[in-house]
């Protein structure tokens, strides 16, 4: 199919990538975004090869973005003992694209620039969708200003708090608490470069994971080594900060609670917790796999976090939304009707996204173990290049399955075996 009129609700990473993917095939795309302007919010994002190659193919200029090329994932326990390196230095050679650390605002800016340069894409900011009519011959939306938009196809990429999801699925699917909260910190790299304990974290761009009892942290440099990004996740039961309210998704928090929470951890962690006076604290949520991503009319579908949110432990949330965009475009190229294309899109994407999301739960369990026999067993298994390795990237076949996938092509791809859960869990009584 060519020259479809496509409406995309949401100009996050998934929505913008979808606009680029569909416009590349000649479709006429309108994107509606509720915010007035894109602000420099958020912090770092990891951009793996399975999404990098797609962005480049759609004309996104990543070359001009200040970034770091990841050396891989490094795992350290809470005592500071090195456990495992999973190198990604061969990513470009092996998968045809590099693995980057990028500031989220810089990635959004690169996507917006590509969108604005494309003659088939129109981006409307400050345009909030307030209602859907999905059963017309041509589905439609109405905005808060009273505007009415119709299209051949509507893609709802409006995030985990999607207002479209209930209208599309016919049920009130709400995000579920995962048992963890995340603290996010972004500091000048100069704060680390003057400290012998921290300098290598900037000069050697690994994604360093400190894992320990009921919590972990991930850190990596950004913007060519100008900034250092840290995400700290802890269980509700060990979080010493004020709880996030029921309707809130983020709050400001001071570092005193984290300094107290991690006072027994290694020097690197203690120093990272002390680097900033305030943090943003985020709720971590997901939900069970939806029965369907496609409205019964066969003309409206969900994409990205609206249908498959996942915890950040795999660093694949935005990448999986980008894969959604590529597969949707491929399905529209391959099929002669929109309902058939959306069916193919869902059939291809749902098992892969569900598998990646399930692996975030596996990592959550293994990373947060207390010292003891099961933690010792984990540390041994981490060094095996086999399916028994609980660290997803530690088994070459799983890593190749993730990074080597090209979502621009339809076809069955066997799902690897899910790593086993630990024999004990810190979440059983939380």
| Closest to 309 in 3D by CA, of 161, 160, 104, 168 | 160
Domain residues for the domain of 235 are 182-286
85 φ, ψ (degrees, to nearest 5): -115, 135
420 φ, ψ (degrees, to nearest 5): -75, 155
Residue 55 near residue 407, CB atoms below 8 Å:
no
In a domain, 261, yes or no: yes
In a domain, 146, yes or no: no
| pLDDT range class, residue 42, cuts 50, 70, 90 | low
pLDDT at 2: 85
- Three-state DSSP class for 334? helix
In a domain, 196, yes or no: yes
Whether the per-residue pLDDT at 430 is higher than 70: the answer is no
Which residues fall within 8 angstroms of residue 400, CB to CB, at 6 or more apart? 94
In a domain, 266, yes or no: yes
Q: What tens digit of pLDDT does each residue of 291-318 get?
A: 999 999 999 999 999 999 999 999 999 9
Secondary structure of 136-147 in HEC code, one letter for each residue: CCCCEEEECCCC
- Domain count along the chain: 1
pTM as predicted:
0.96
Q: Supply the CATH number for residue 246's domain.
A: 3.30.9.30
Whether the per-residue pLDDT at 248 is higher than 70: the answer is no
In a domain, 217, yes or no: yes
How far apart are alpha carbons 245 and 336 in whole angstroms? Answer: 48
Instruction: Name the percent of the chain lying above pLDDT 90.
Output: 84
In a domain, 347, yes or no: no
| pLDDT range class, residue 255, cuts 50, 70, 90 | confident
In a domain, 190, yes or no: yes
Q: Looking at 65-175, which runs of residues are DSSP E strands?
A: 68-69, 72-77, 82-87, 100-103, 121-124, 129-133, 140-143, 148-150, 153-156
| pLDDT range class, residue 382, cuts 50, 70, 90 | very high
Which segment of 88-97, 281-290, 381-390 scores lowest on mean pLDDT? 281-290
């Amino acid at each position: 199919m060519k020259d479809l009129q496509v409406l995309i609700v949401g100009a996050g990473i998934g929505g913008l990538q979808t606009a680029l993917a569909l416009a590349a095939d000649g479709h006429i795309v309108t994107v509606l975004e509720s915010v007035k302007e894109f602000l420099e919010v958020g912090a770092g994002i990891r951009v793996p090869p399975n999404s990098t190659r797609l962005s480049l193919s759609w004309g996104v200029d990543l070359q001009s973005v200040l970034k770091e090329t990841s050396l891989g994932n490094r795992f350290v326990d809470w005592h500071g003992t090195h456990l495992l390196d999973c190198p990604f230095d061969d990513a470009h050679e092996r998968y045809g694209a590099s693995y980057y650390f990028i500031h989220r605002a810089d990635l959004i800016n690169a996507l917006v620039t590509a969108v604005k340069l494309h003659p088939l894409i129109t981006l409307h900011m400050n345009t909030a969708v307030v209602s859907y009519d999905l059963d017309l011959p041509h589905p439609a939306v109405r905005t808060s200003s009273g505007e009415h938009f119709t299209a051949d196809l509507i893609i709802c990429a409006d995030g985990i708090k999607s207002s479209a999801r209930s209208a599309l699925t016919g049920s009130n699917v709400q995000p579920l608490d995962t048992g963890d909260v995340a603290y996010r910190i972004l500091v000048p790299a100069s704060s680390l470069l003057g400290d012998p304990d921290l300098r290598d974290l900037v000069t050697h761009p690994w994604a360093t994971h400190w894992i320990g009892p009921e919590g972990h942290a991930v850190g990596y440099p950004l913007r060519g080594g100008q900034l250092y990004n840290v995400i700290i996740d802890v269980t509700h039961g060990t979080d010493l900060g004020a709880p996030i309210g029921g309707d809130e998704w983020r709050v400001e928090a001071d570092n005193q609670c984290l300094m107290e929470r991690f006072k027994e951890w290694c020097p690197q962690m203690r120093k990272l917790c002390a680097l900033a006076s305030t943090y943003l604290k985020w709720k971590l949520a997901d939900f069970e796999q939806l029965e369907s991503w496609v409205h019964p009319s066969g003309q409206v579908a969900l994409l990205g976090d609206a249908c498959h949110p996942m915890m950040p432990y795999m660093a694949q949330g935005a990448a999986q939304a980008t894969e959604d965009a590529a597969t949707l475009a491929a399905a529209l190229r391959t099929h002669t009707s929109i309902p058939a294309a959306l069916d193919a899109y869902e059939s291809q994407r749902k098992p892969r996204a569900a598998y990646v999301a399930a692996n975030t739960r596996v990592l959550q369990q293994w990373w947060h173990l207390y010292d003891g026999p099961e933690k010792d067993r984990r540390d041994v298994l981490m060094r095996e290049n086999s399916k028994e390795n609980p660290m997803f990237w530690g088994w070459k076949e799983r890593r190749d399955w993730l990074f080597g996938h090209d979502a621009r092509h339809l076809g069955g791809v066997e799902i690897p075996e899910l790593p086993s859960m630990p024999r004990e869990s810190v979440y059983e009584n939380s």
